[in-house]
Copies of this chain bind each other. A is one copy, B any other.
Amino acid sequence: MNTAPEKSDWFQARYSQDTILSLRITARLHSSRSPFQKIEVFDTDDFGRILVLDGVLNVAELDEFIYHEMMTHVPLFTHEKPERILVVGGGDGGILREAVKHDCVRDAVLVEIDKEVTDVSRRFFPKVSSALSDSRVTVIHDDASKYIQSQRNAFDGIIIDSTDPIGAGERLFTPQFYRNCFAALTENGVLSAQSESPFFDPDIVKDLYATAAQVFPIVRMYTAFMPSYVSGLWSFLYASKNTDPVAGFQAERYAHMNIEYQYYNADIHRASFSLPSFVKKQFSM
């Protein structure tokens, strides 16, 4: 059992310098370098097809439904009638796929800095990227931190599907960006953002919640199981102008829509805001 994985056959997802999740690669489908990052696509045995950006696993067929459902439905089901949605990053299209399941959504704008990510997703991840061609969707290839500056009272929901806060992603973790999101949201606006692993990135997590709390009256953490992400425990930031994410759950609209989810459901919505004691203590929640 101690045979070391060989370089050529394995993709290595690093939790840290000292902990590595190795996935056996069955096919190397794509490798390119965009103006922003290295983009790779592999097929693996257990995690299905994976999208890798600058060496970091971003999307795995095995569990992408968890991330995309939880990023999207949790905030949108705390709004009475979300009509205009902004997706920041998320060029793979997975958030859009979930967002357009809400029949009240009339416009969904995706601002993804890297056109090559959307191109690669359309080509290699048809199930994830399907909504990129939806008639209600507008795809803009620009820096979202610039785009948001001109938006006022424009979106009922903003979903921040960023990479880790290094390189281009860093601008999406600043107080100024959150202030601009607040201004871009309508009166009862809601927001979600991926917020890393409480086990392996506690400092990033702490900083992000402090940043959001400077701007939004209501900031809460929720969690989901993500086997392909560091530690399997992934956290998400919920922020709103006036809505408690549990008390504000729109049970009637949820029941009426009757979507077939793979992870999300009404129980999971509420349960995901129940945090382990060490997480509450660590982040004073």
The yes or no answer to A216 lying at the interface (CB within 8 A) is no
Distance in Å: Cβ of A6 to nearest Cβ of chain B: 6
Other-chain residue from B7, B227, B278 in contact with A2 (beta carbon distance below 8 A): B7
Identify the stretch in A117-125, A162-170, A201-209, A262-270 within 8 Å (CB) of chain B at 4 or more residues. Answer: A262-270
A231 in contact (CB, < 8 A): yes
Partner of A274, one of B12, B20, B267: B267
Given contacts A231-B227, A233-B225, A233-B227, contact A18 B5 (CB under 8 A): no
- The 8 A CB mask of A229-246 against B (1 = contact, 0 = none) is 001110000000000000
Q: Answer whether A4 and B4 are a contact pair too, CB < 8 Å, given A223-B225, A226-B232, A262-B278.
A: yes
Across the interface, do B22 and A46 meet the contact criterion of CB distance under 8 Å?
no
Contact partners of A21 in chain B: CB under 8 A: 19-22
* Majority-rule SS of A interface residues: loop
Within the complex, the shortest CB–CB distance from A268 to chain B, in Å, comes to 5
Interface CB pairs A-B, < 8 A, 14: A4-B4, A4-B6, A4-B7, A17-B24, A19-B46, A22-B22, A46-B200, A66-B276, A225-B232, A226-B232, A263-B277, A265-B276, A267-B274, A268-B276
Q: Is A210 an interface residue (CB 8 A)?
A: no
Residue numbers in B under 8 Å from A46 (CB-CB): 15-16, 18-19, 200
Q: Does A255 contact B (CB under 8 A)?
A: no
CA of A262 to CA of B280 in the docked complex: distance in angstroms? 10
